[in-house]
Structure 1
């Protein structure tokens, strides 16, 4: 398959590209507004092409020979809230332009859109299912929801074969902290393991998050390529990706178990009123029956997610020395 990944410079795009390049039959086009690399350690790096492009102005990466597209471009939650106009341009307008271009140049192909649990707002029922009506409390969730609806309608019309996967908070993310309100959920592990401080913007250690490891998310994104067109109704193409519940205390316990008790000294707990408004507006208990029925897989534990991260970082350090 020839597959395009937008926002390919981000860690999810890089992880996915590396996974897809394990299959020598795949060719990839990786695009981002910045220069993005072909992931280190890729099995078939020659099968990937990198294109730097601003998708609002340049849609040349949409070609008639594409078989599938993953849409990962976007401005994260806190960034979208702080800059409403930029969030609209990148998260909504760029997606709309790309979908219209796909309709014209390569109609009917599989489009996998990265949505978010941020589409849900309070009051929450005891458990979130796909039948719960989404009422986002932030600009990021609102923009994601608008894209979901457009993808549903364009799939119903036969213009694309769309699937929207609502991501849990992904942890543990490698790299630097992001503009996401949830950034600390990776930072609480990543920074202390490197001997750096992480600021946790809530003092309540029982604060819950619905999370998923990068490894599990990538496997589920690859699985989405294989689902038949009729796996869901043509006008309901959204699925809550499997996750698991982890509190701040759970995360600290996993850090201590994997990295050592001494790493806990790098965690600074504060009450950030602005970030708290976003964080407390997110749901944290989901019924993933639909996703599991479609063959998506859940994580086993947050501790395992931390161990996966340590293994990945060790591998990256080894590759850097080659």
Structure 2
């Protein structure tokens, strides 16, 4: 079993590679090789089998063709330009988030090997006039360029699967929190930074009110779900291969209360409240009353509490 993780240098890619290395098997076969590919050379992970790293620009069809090998059995397509950056730089978002997946799918079609392709979409595909609650059969009505690019890629995943070019499955990720590392250009970045920075003794800014509701999942649980998602039998996926990954809805106040319950009262004192209209404009169009019935039936799950999300960060990343 050979696995390629495109976006293998990111938070989820690294967590996924580590989870696969611990498991040692996927789809009933021993893992022989994991290849981590990203726009810059990813960090390798410890594993009892071969770990390779490659530089890959998914916006470049030649780079993609050089990265995806004939013997890659499972391809995780995680690489993307994040929401805020895709909104401000339309061309870059289109090249990476739309043409990038198309380059990957076209390479798979040219190889003729029908690999399993696991694609990470986003809850940003929901929005606008779609009626709550939302679920796997809700109309996609994105209100950002990022959401639109992800929605189009979902359609491509379904069609390339229907044609027999790939065995695709796509999962709309909740906002992943608490993410390690530094803040990025995602509009949702503050949903980690208002916890991560205070837990490290650094001030953070929250640009929305404490009653702001959103849909969350921890990096650890996301990686576990992506492993399960690759193993689901094609016959169980039905005619729509893209679905919502489970998460849970909490308010900003509940996130902060969870941090306080785990780490005490001091971190919360480092949060400064400051309205940021551009961030608020983007995130206010996102939906939060979301249900992942199909994925839950297939064995994927959400975190039990946001306290768990905080503990995972402290145990694995701080």
Q: Does 1:76 align with 2:82?
A: yes
**Mapping 1:55-70, distance limit 5 Å:** 55=58, 56=60, 57-58=62-63, 59-70=65-76
Q: Does 1:18 align with 2:1?
A: no
Please say if residues 65 and 106 of structure 1, whose CA atoms lie closer than 8 Å, have aligned partners that are also in contact.
Answer: no
- Whole-Å separation in 2 of the counterparts to 1:232 and 1:224: 10
Q: CA deviation at 1:2?
A: 0.3
Question: In the alignment, which residue of structure 2 is the partner of 1:101?
Answer: 107
Q: How far 1:10 sits from its partner (Å)?
A: 0.6
Aligned to 2:56: 53
Contact 2:205 2:273 in 1 (8 A): yes
Structure 2: state its 5+ residue gaps. Answer: 25-29
Can you give the 5+ residue segments of structure 1 that lack an aligned partner in the other structure? 315-322
Deviation at 1:106, TM superposition (A): 4.4
| Post-superposition offset of 1:189 | 1.1
Residue 124 (structure 1) shift: 4.0
Matches within 5 A, 1:219-238: 219-234=224-239, 236-238=240-242
Q: Indicate whether 1:177 and 2:183 are aligned.
A: yes
| More deviation, 123-132/135-144 | 123-132
Q: CA–CA distance in 2 between the matches of 1:143 and 1:263?
A: 37
Larger CA deviation: 77-86 vs 49-58: 49-58
| Superposed CA offset, 1:90-140 (max 9, x none) | 111111011100111143111000100000112342310111101100000
Q: 1:70-89 CA deviation, whole Å, 9 max, x = no partner?
A: 00111000000010000000
In 1: Cα distance, 2:273 partner to 2:112 partner = 50
Find the counterpart in structure 1 of residue 167 from structure 2.
161
**CA offsets, 1:209-266, max 9 Å, x none?**
10001111111100012111111224x1111000001111001101111122111121
For residues 106 and 8 of structure 1, the distance between their equivalents in structure 2, rounded to whole angstroms, comes to: 24
Describe the SS at the equivalent of 1:122. coil
Measure the CA separation in 1 of the matches of 2:56 and 2:92.
17
Distance 2:204 2:70 in 1: 46
1:21 and 1:47 in contact (8 A); partners too: no
Instruction: Tell me by how many angstroms 1:54 deviates.
Output: 2.0
Q: Aligned match of 2:305 in 298, 301, 304?
A: 301
- TM (norm. structure 1) is 0.93
What is the rounded CA distance, in whole Å, between the counterparts of 1:33 and 1:132 in structure 2? 33
2:149 counterpart residue number: 143
Per-residue deviation, residues 259-289 of structure 1 (Å, max 9, x unmatched): 2211112111111111111111111011221
DSSP-derived class of the 1:261 partner: coil
Say whether the 8 Å CA contact 2:170–2:242 is kept in structure 1.
yes
Secondary structure (helix, strand or coil) at the match of 1:278 reads helix
Q: Is the 8 A contact 2:129 2:141 kept in 1?
A: no
Residue 3 of structure 1, CA deviation: 0.5
Three-state SS of the structure 1 residue aligned to 2:171 is strand
Task: Count residues with an aligned counterpart.
Answer: 309
Matched, 1:256 2:264: no
1:127-181 Cα shifts (integer Å, max 9, x gaps): 1011110110000000000100011011011111000100000011011111111
Looking at structure 2, the residues matched to 194 and 32 of structure 1 have their Cα atoms a distance apart, in angstroms, of 28
Aligned partners of 1:277, 1:123: CA distance in 2, in Å?
16
RMSD over aligned Cα atoms: 1.2
Deviates more, 1:206-215 or 1:24-33: 24-33
